[in-house]
Amino acid sequence: MLKRLKNKDLLGLSDITKEEIRLILDHAKTMKQIIKSGVKKTADLQGKSVITLFYENSTRTRLSFELASKYMGAAAANISASTSSVSKGETLVDTGRTIAATSTDVIIIRHPMSGAPHLMAKNVAASVINAGDGMNEHPTQALLDMYTIEDKKGKLDGVEVAITGDALHSRVARSNIWGLSKMGANIRIFAPSTLLPKEIEKMGVKVCKTLSEAVEGADAVMGLRLQLERQKRALFPTEREYSKYFCIDEKIFSLAKKDALLMHPGPVNRGLELSSALIDCPSSFIDEQVTNGVAVRMALLDLLCNSKKFAY
């Protein structure tokens, strides 16, 4: 059985194995117990330092990485690109080298350019974690999504997952497709034709013609945020029309299995992707996704920082 991750970095789920995903998800179960115990404290990262470097806004990812680091005893600090020397023209690689020169063990980076974390990882000895790069991947979000599904359904293999909404701009969708497919889940996708990535079928997903077709019989229904900030031109007529044709409401969600999970990576545009009533209903696991995000990120930091502890 695999006991540690193969690389120093986590850049995406396209380039890690099923066994590595299993290792992170299993280790996250231990971390969730620590969180639930009420005494959120371990010494696993004592003597380590973790820096979050965010070139884009974030609430969940940045906070959960910071809490995960602190719960485990690491020194943790945040750098926002807008208030750092990036605004004076410092390059990505020079910024990475500067952070690494402070003997940082882990750099967690979010960047609007796909591939930015990969470039940084090549230029620093520290572990680099991709916290979302452009329209490419958001691996820790997909890991926490997989954790949530497995926690509630008892398995990932054979689970039917519907992903709906702005798939074109969604790094969450891409990471989930890579990760869930590796773990044996079946994925259906539905998006407006202008927000559906070309050749997405080649990733092994079923493209549905209607929202009802995608949701019917699903074990988990994952809405995606409409990423207006990444749209260079209008890709749908109006938000009112988007809501009318693509919003999941209680009627549509009732087509899923009786015990289906409603999920969303957040932040949600209420009434656009999901109806407000549905977000607040008992089938909604959106808050639990956030809780699980801390556990998954604790597990990942432990595995990357303490690879000797997890020797084969």
Interface positions with ligand CP (CB under 6 A): 58-61, 132, 138, 141, 265-267
Please, are residues 62 and 294 in contact by the beta-carbon 8 Å criterion? no
- Helix and strand numbers (H, E) in the chain are 11, 9
Which C-beta is closer to ligand CP: that of 100 or that of 109? 109
Which C-beta is closer to ligand CP: that of 291 or that of 306? 291
Task: Give least dist CB 129 to ligand CP, A.
Answer: 13
Task: Give least dist CB 60 to ligand CP, A.
Answer: 4
Task: Give least dist CB 44 to ligand CP, A.
Answer: 23
Q: How many CA atoms lie within 13 A of 192 on its CB side?
A: 20
- Phi and psi for 181 in degrees, rounded to 5? -60, -45
The strand ranges marked E within 94-248 are 106-111, 127-133, 160-164, 186-190, 206-207, 220-223
Please, are residues 48 and 105 in contact by the beta-carbon 8 Å criterion? yes
Task: Give least dist CB 141 to ligand CP, A.
Answer: 5
Which C-beta is closer to ligand CP: that of 48 or that of 138? 138
Task: Give least dist CB 256 to ligand CP, A.
Answer: 22
Residue 266 to residue 223: CA distance in whole angstroms:
9
Please, are residues 161 and 219 in contact by the beta-carbon 8 Å criterion? yes
Which C-beta is closer to ligand CP: that of 42 or that of 58? 58
- Phi and psi for 286 in degrees, rounded to 5? -65, -40
Residue 231 to residue 253: CA distance in whole angstroms:
27
Task: Give least dist CB 79 to ligand CP, A.
Answer: 15
Which C-beta is closer to ligand CP: that of 131 or that of 200? 131
Which C-beta is closer to ligand CP: that of 58 or that of 123? 58
